[in-house]
Amino acid sequence: MNYEAVIGIEIHCELKTETKMFSGAPLGYGQRPNTAINEIDISMPGTLPQVNKQAVAHGVKLAQALNCDIDTLVRFDRKNYFYSDLPKGYQITQQFYPLGRDGLFNILVNDDIKTVRINRLHMEEDTAKQFHEGENTLIDFNRAGTPLLEIVTEADFRTGEEAAAYVDALRLLVVYLGISDGRMDEGSLRCDVNISIRPVGQEAFGTKVEIKNLNSISNVQKSIEYEIKRQTEVVESGEAVITETRRFDEKHQSTVSMRVKESVVDYRYFVEPNIAPIRLGAGIMDQQEIELPVARIMRYNESLGLSMYDASVLVKNKELTDYFELLIQDTSEYKLVVNWLTQDILSVLDKKEGRPFEVWIQPKYFIELIDAIKTDTISSKQAKEVFAKMVEGESPKAVIEKSGMVQINDEPTILAWIEEALEANPQVIDDYRNGSNKSLKFVVGQVMKLSKGQVNPRIANELVVRTLDKKI
């Protein structure tokens, strides 16, 4: 029997705000444990939460980008459970009235558009972080109260590849919107996957298994592919898949059981009594629209003639694609610019040292390099030398002039070198007559040597062929 997977995804996205969701404490990633906290974060008696306006604005921005129906009356609820990383004994969230519902998000899977349905998007606060050392558990409250958005999809995915493409697209979206850094390796974006299998053609879902805390795009795909295989083997052996929570073991590239879900946890949700409903005004609802990543990829493909692959590689780095937007104001050599950006620039990003691209390499300098290549002023080999100077802050035009690095395109001069090479190596003509391609490359090499590497290799090759053809 053939089976298909039914997959839904929940993503927790930490927001890039100055302070926490319900307190004035600063966000504390990377700081010394328990230093980025205040009385509200550790639930001291008598403290009251105050909603972070910037976090709400970020939530609205993402809800709009995901085409959600937005609830303009913001309300919060309590999710009650007792765990050592939750100082209040409850989490403030949005169970009954999420900020956004019924959204649609277009993603690219192998250059094809797939529309993902968004079930809900809600705001909440993060918990503290635990560190287990032997029999002891240490708690860092710096993360407690960090603003989170939880984005829940419908069960619209059938493969690990589709799921990974969605997570990557959402990660890129929050970066483009400027609401999160999207760093999965630092926990800014955390992913849970719900997966079941069913016979192809069956409408009813199978038994759902949850894979928790996936921290990379590749692990999303690998864990799903493993779990599909595991569940299929369980079913085909005549056993039943059990409802459980699993994690992905990177070392063994497999999912491992964490706990069995024998019953549904009763979180005893009720309305948060310390936060009054908040009506969203025009200042938050009427935010400036930006061009979304998929829309930018399609524009590059349709208007600039870039391949979907080139456009996707470029758009994956927001800083790089914004720099590309500056460059194409002064050149139409789009493909040439993309090649240098996605191959050469990305290989030396360590030299950027945190500076904006336009400060690191002035756009006019990059255009000077592109123009020199396009007009055959310099060879591809010389371009690499000029590029190395350019990333250190020098003008390509100045480097070319100072180094005398001008490519020779003059045919009479090149023909004279060809004749000189043939006079010194007359056997080459016989070799060429006998079909040896090595003789052609040899002569071109001699011409390059005589010109000290400054001759245009394309023109040299054409003239060597023409000269040898005449001599046989």
- Average pLDDT for runs of 10 along the chain of length 472: 94 97 92 94 93 97 97 97 91 97 96 96 95 90 96 97 98 96 93 96 94 95 97 94 94 92 83 96 87 95 96 95 97 96 95 94 97 88 93 94 80 91 90 84 90 84 89 75
Token pair, residue 280, equals 């969203």
Give the whole-angstrom CA distance, residue 162 versus residue 7: 10
**Nearest CA-CA partner of 440 in 409, 470, 468:** 468
Confidence (pLDDT) at 386: 95
**Nearest CA-CA partner of 52 in 43, 41, 67:** 41
Confidence (pLDDT) at 176: 96
Token pair, residue 335, equals 């493909």
Burial of 248 (0-12, 13-18, 19+ CB in 10 A): buried
Q: How far apart are the first and last CA of the chain?
A: 69
Can you tell me whether residue 320 is helix, strand or coil?
helix
What's the Cα-to-Cα distance from 230 to each of 205, 208, 362, rounded to whole Å? 17, 13, 53
The pTM assigned to this predicted structure is: 0.85
Structural domains of the chain, ranges and CATH numbers in brackets: 3-285 (no CATH), 293-403 (no CATH), 411-471 (1.10.10.410)
Centroid of chain to Cα 209: 27
CB-CB contact of 8 with 156 (8 Å): yes
Give the whole-angstrom CA distance, residue 260 versus residue 246: 9
Give the whole-angstrom CA distance, residue 377 versus residue 344: 20
